Amino acid sequence: MATKIFILTSQQFPVVSPDMDGYCARQTMPNTVQRLLVQAGRIARARWVLLSLLLVVTAVGCALILPHDRAWSQLVSSCDEPWHRIATLFSKWGDYWTGTLIITAALWLAGVALRRPAWRMAALACLLGASVAGIEVDIVRFATGRPRPGVGLPDGLYGPHFHRDYFSFPSGHTTTAFATASALAVVLPPVGIPLLAGAGGVGWSRICHRSHYPSDVWVGAWVGSLNGVVLGFAARRCRREDESKAGNTPAARPSSRERS
C-alpha cells in the first residue's frame, strides 16, 4: 500500500520544468532519485582519491581529539542554564525528522509553487545526502557500541549494541545536519551556507547535553559533509543535463525563418 501511494504521489507531482525554453523535463520522483544516485556514484568513483584523503583527515583528527574527549565534554557541558536551553532548541530542530525532513518538504513545496525545478532537485539532494549519511553512521554506531558521556559508563567500544545509550560514535544529529546543509551549500548557497552555521550549533548542542563526545561530533560532521557535497554536485550535474536537453529540443531551436 505504501509503495502504491508513493508511486501515485510521484506521478501526480512530477519534477516538471516547464520554464525551460521549449522543454518540459517530465521526470517522476523515483526517476530523479535514481539519476541523483547514479551521478553521485560516478562522482565518488572519479574523486575516490580525494574522498579517501578526507576520510584519513577525519580519522587523524578523531585520534587527536580522543585523548581530550572527556575534559572537553565536561567543559562544554558546564555552561550556564540559558545556554542549555539554546542547546535544547538546536538538538530539537537539528534532528533528521524535525530538521532535514521539514527543510526538504518546504524547499520541495516552494519549488512546486514557484515553478523552480532547481529547488526541487536541491530538496531531493539534501534528503538523499542526509539519509545515506544517517544509514552509514547508524551502522557504525551499532557496531562500535560506544556509551554516551551521560550514561556514566567508562569510555570505550563495547561492541554491537541495539540500545541508544551505546550510540555515541558518531553523532547522528550532527551527521544529518551537516549532510543537509552541505548539499544545499553546493546547490543553493544562499540557503545552505547559513545552514552550515546551524549544523555547527547542532554539533555543539550534542556535546552540551552530554549526548556525544567531541570526537563523535567531529566524525559526524565530516561524514555528513562528504555525503552532502557529493549529492549536491550530483544535483548540479543533473540540472545541467536538463538544461542541455532543453536547448536541444525542436521547440527550443530556432526555425529556418527565425534564423534568416
Please report, to the nearest 10 degrees, the dihedral formed by the alpha carbons of residues 177, 180, 181, 183 taken in order. 150
Which amino acid, 222?
Answer: W
What is the per-residue pLDDT for 152?
Answer: 87
Kindly tell me if the per-residue pLDDT of 12 is higher than 90: no
Q: Which of 13, 220, 188, 213 is nearest to 96 (CA)?
A: 220
Kindly tell me if the per-residue pLDDT of 254 is higher than 90: no
All three cell numbers of 64, joined, read 587527536
Are 230 and 43 in contact by the 8 Å Cβ rule? The answer is: yes
Measured between alpha carbons, how far is 188 from 218 in angstroms, rounded to an integer?
24
Residue given cell 565536561 in the structure block: 74
Using alpha carbons only, give the angle 236, 239, 244 rounded to the nearest 5 degrees.
Answer: 125
Are 217 and 171 in contact by the 8 Å Cβ rule? The answer is: yes
What is the per-residue pLDDT for 256?
Answer: 47
Measured between alpha carbons, how far is 47 from 52 in angstroms, rounded to an integer?
9
All three cell numbers of 85, joined, read 536551553
Q: Which helix (H) or strand (E) holds 135?
A: helix 117-144
Buried b (16+ CB within 10 A) or exposed e, 115-154: ebbbbbbbbbbbbbbbbbbbebbeebbeebbbbbbebeee
pLDDT confidence tier of residue 26, bands split at 50, 70 and 90: low
Measured between alpha carbons, how far is 97 from 84 in angstroms, rounded to an integer?
21
Measured between alpha carbons, how far is 156 from 147 in angstroms, rounded to an integer?
7
Measured between alpha carbons, how far is 239 from 122 in angstroms, rounded to an integer?
10
Kindly tell me if the per-residue pLDDT of 192 is higher than 70: yes
Measured between alpha carbons, how far is 103 from 185 in angstroms, rounded to an integer?
13
State pTM to two decimals: 0.85
Mean pLDDT score across all residues of the chain: 87
Q: Count Cα neighbours of 236 within 13 Å in the Cβ-side half-sphere.
A: 14
What is the per-residue pLDDT for 5?
Answer: 35
Measured between alpha carbons, how far is 204 from 63 in angstroms, rounded to an integer?
19
Q: How much is the average pLDDT of 17-23?
A: 43
Q: Is 95 exposed, middle or buried (0-12, 13-18, 19+ CB in 10 A)?
A: middle
